[in-house]
C-alpha cells in the first residue's frame, strides 16, 4: 500500500475509463455529486470513506476525484489506503475535467450544495447586519457578530447550526426524499 496518489490528466482519466481499465471514485458529498459529476463515477463521500465498501475490481485503476483536487490532496493517505495497488487522482478534479471539454452529468433541479447555501446565507446575514447597523441602528451590528461567532463555533466543533437549519428548508427536504 502506498500513501500517495499519482496524478492523471483529464485526458488520461478519460482514456482509462473508456477502455474499462479505470474506475472513477468521486469523494464529494452526496449533495455535490447530485448536482454535477462525471458519468459513471461512483459516489463515495470522504466523510463516510472508512465505512464504505469499495467493490472495485482489484485489477482496475482506482482514480479519485473531487471538485478541484484540494480534498483529494488533503486526504491522499486515507484514499490510497483504501486501494490494494496504486491509487490515482484526477489532477484538477471535476473543474479540470470540464475545462478539458469532457461531458459532465448535471442536475439543475438539485439544490445548491449545502456548503454553498451556508456561505450565501451567512454572507447575506453579515451584510444585512452591517448595512442595518450603519443606516438604521448600531444594535444591528450584533447580527454580524452573532453570525461570525456561529461560523467560528462551526469551524471549531464541526457542527454548523445554520447548515442544520438549511437542511430543513423545503428545497433540501425534497432533495433528501
Give all strands of the β-sheet with 6-8 in edge-to-edge order.
6-8, 87-90, 61-65, 22-26, 42-43
Regarding pTM above 0.85, the answer is: no
Q: What is the pLDDT of residue 90?
A: 98
Q: What is the pLDDT of residue 56?
A: 81
Helix (H, G, I), strand (E, B) or coil at 42: strand
Q: What is the pLDDT of residue 135?
A: 98
**Structural domain spans, the chain:** 6-106, 114-176
Instruction: Just list the catalytic residues.
Output: 66
Q: Is the dihedral of CA 118, 153, 167, 128 positive or negative?
A: negative
Helix (H) or strand (E) holding 162: helix 161-167
Q: What is the pLDDT of residue 4?
A: 85
All cell numbers assigned to 164: 442544520
Q: How far apart are CA 116 and CA 162, in angstroms?
A: 12
In the numeric block, the cell 475535467 is attached to: 97
**CA distances to 12, 30, 57, 88, 170 from 34, in Å:** 24, 6, 24, 23, 17
Segments in the chain below pLDDT 70:
1-3, 175-177
- For domain 6-106, give the CATH superfamily: Rhodanese-like domain (3.40.250.10)
pLDDT digits (tens, 9 = 90+) for 82-114: 888 889 999 999 999 999 999 999 999 999 999
Amino acid at each position: 500500500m502506498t500513501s500517495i496518489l499519482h496524478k492523471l490528466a483529464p485526458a488520461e482519466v478519460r482514456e482509462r475509463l473508456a477502455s474499462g481499465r479505470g474506475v472513477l471514485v468521486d469523494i464529494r458529498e452526496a449533495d455535490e455529486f447530485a448536482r454535477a459529476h462525471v458519468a459513471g463515477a461512483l459516489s463515495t463521500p470522504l466523510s463516510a470513506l472508512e465505512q464504505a465498501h469499495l467493490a472495485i475490481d482489484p485489477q482496475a485503476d482506482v482514480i479519485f476525484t473531487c471538485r478541484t483536487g484540494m480534498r483529494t490532496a488533503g486526504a491522499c493517505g486515507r484514499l490510497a489506503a483504501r486501494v490494494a495497488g496504486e491509487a490515482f487522482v484526477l489532477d484538477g478534479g471535476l473543474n479540470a475535467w470540464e475545462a478539458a471539454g469532457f461531458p459532465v452529468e448535471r442536475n439543475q433541479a438539485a439544490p445548491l450544495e449545502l456548503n454553498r447555501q451556508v456561505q450565501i446565507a451567512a454572507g447575506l446575514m453579515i451584510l444585512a447586519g452591517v448595512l442595518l447597523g450603519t443606516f438604521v441602528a448600531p444594535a444591528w451590528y450584533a447580527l454580524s457578530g452573532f453570525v461570525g461567532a456561529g461560523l467560528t463555533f462551526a469551524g471549531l466543533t464541526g457542527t454548523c447550526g445554520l447548515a442544520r437549519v438549511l437542511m430543513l428548508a423545503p428545497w433540501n427536504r425534497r432533495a433528501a426524499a
